[in-house]
Amino acid sequence: MNSQQLAGPNTPPRDGPEPGNLVARAEALGISSEDQRLNTVDSSSSGLDKPSVIQQTIPPSGQVVIGGKETQYVGATHWAAILDDIGEVKEYFDQGEDDDIEEETGPEPSLLFNTDAPPTKAKLLAALPSRRVVDKIVQGYFHGANPSLHILHAPTFQKEYLKFWANPHDIPICWLGLLYGIMCLSLFSSYAAGEENPDEHASQMQTIRTYRRNCIQCIRLSDYTKPGKYTIEAMLAHLEGEFVLSDADQVNCYVLLGVAVRLALRMGLHRDPDRVGGQITPFQGEMRRRLWAILRQIDLLASFHIGLPSMVESVDSDVQLPRNLNDSDFDEDCTELPPLDLTRNICEFIIPPSYDDIMELDAQLDVVQANVPPSFRFQPIDSCIADPAKLIIQRLNIAHLLCKSRCVLHRKYLVGNQDHPEREYSVKVGIDAAMQLLNFQKQTYEATRPGGS
């Protein structure tokens, strides 16, 4: 998961060493300490009568960091556990605690520690922008690569989305929270990419925080302690947003993750649908597996990031991994999940293509390459100064496809039996195509660098 953070108010410079220099020194100290530890182990490995020396080489399991405002335990993977032994770093950040107090602009609303009464469902519906804006934002989410994307079944969500606009007041409040969470994530991705805000009535960051706040209010209004349909989905979308929008320590994410894990346990997501009672359809069972898999991934990543133990690893779970299915392979009306398509692999294993077939396809590639219109044939990028970027990309895509096709076609003969009579030609064609791909990558890299052509 990406741990991007938003820039806060400018902090005045502090006296003392710069944090960048301290971190560099910390890294150097870590390297020298590791060398010293290895030397100690080597010197003590010759005998078994030095338990005290061996005991000193055992790395600590974490650090208890005592600050002016907070005492916290951090595991060995957390940066504070590495830097805590450096006095200058502690002095720098201890000084920063007092400086930052004056610059806080007020805490953001929290799902767990918000005592304000949530607005009504009607107000949350009225806070949505026009459908044109919402359509564009939601489309950006499904075209992106957000970790939470697979908690949804896209065709089913699209049906629910159309029903929502037909009659907004009939939709569950948690579904509305899910929609706000999706919009928050989509808009943050476009913000990070430097794209313009589809909603012209407010700044992009203000809009992101508004969607985040409305997602929280919807979850609170749904009484999330009694989880039902869309509760975990909305929580995971909100959790991902918290991770990219939260403060540096991100303890709030860890606490919120604990709530999500316990709600998932309450719903029985840790049990495989095929092994428990109840009327769970194949579609519902597969989506439950997806939810648990995504929750487990987020838990492992967040726990490693913050340096604290995982919460899911201690759960007695028997859930199978979700199947490798596209959303188009199944729907809510299916009576059983489709089997994995292994036909192609079985056929290739039983009846592999002959070398004559491969050479025939290779000749067809030559014909296709010769029939590419001159305007779409690849040319060195530095010689295409007057050509539009779209045309250059189209040329690259065609050339990429042809080279990759040759690599795939001849890869069987690139390794294996050295005495195969046809191997020499396949090796030459495969290596030439691979070198072409590397050349394309080099030219693309140079052209897209700051100041590149």
CA distance 75 to 306: 8
Backbone angles phi, psi at 116, to 5 degrees: -70, 145
The token pair that represents 184 in the structure block = 């928050």
Residue 15's pLDDT band, with cuts at 50, 70 and 90, is: very low
Kindly report, residue by residue over 256-297, the tens digit of the pLDDT.
Answer: 899 999 999 999 999 998 888 888 899 999 999 999 999 998
The token pair that represents 68 in the structure block = 């002016």
Q: Report pLDDT for 137.
A: 93
CA 197 to chain centre: 22
CA distance 184 to 240: 10
Q: Which amino acid is at 415?
A: V
* DSSP element (H, E) containing 266: helix 251-266
Could you tell me if 111 and 216 are in contact, meaning their C-beta atoms sit under 8 angstroms apart?
yes
Average pLDDT, the chain: 77
pTM beyond 0.85 = no
Residue 205's pLDDT band, with cuts at 50, 70 and 90, is: confident
Kindly report, residue by residue over 408-436, the tens digit of the pLDDT.
Answer: 888 888 776 666 667 788 889 999 999 99
| Choice among 90-94, 242-246, 375-379, 392-396 with the minimum mean pLDDT | 90-94
CA distance 80 to 86: 10
* DSSP element (H, E) containing 399: helix 389-410
CA distance 70 to 271: 38
CA distance 377 to 391: 10
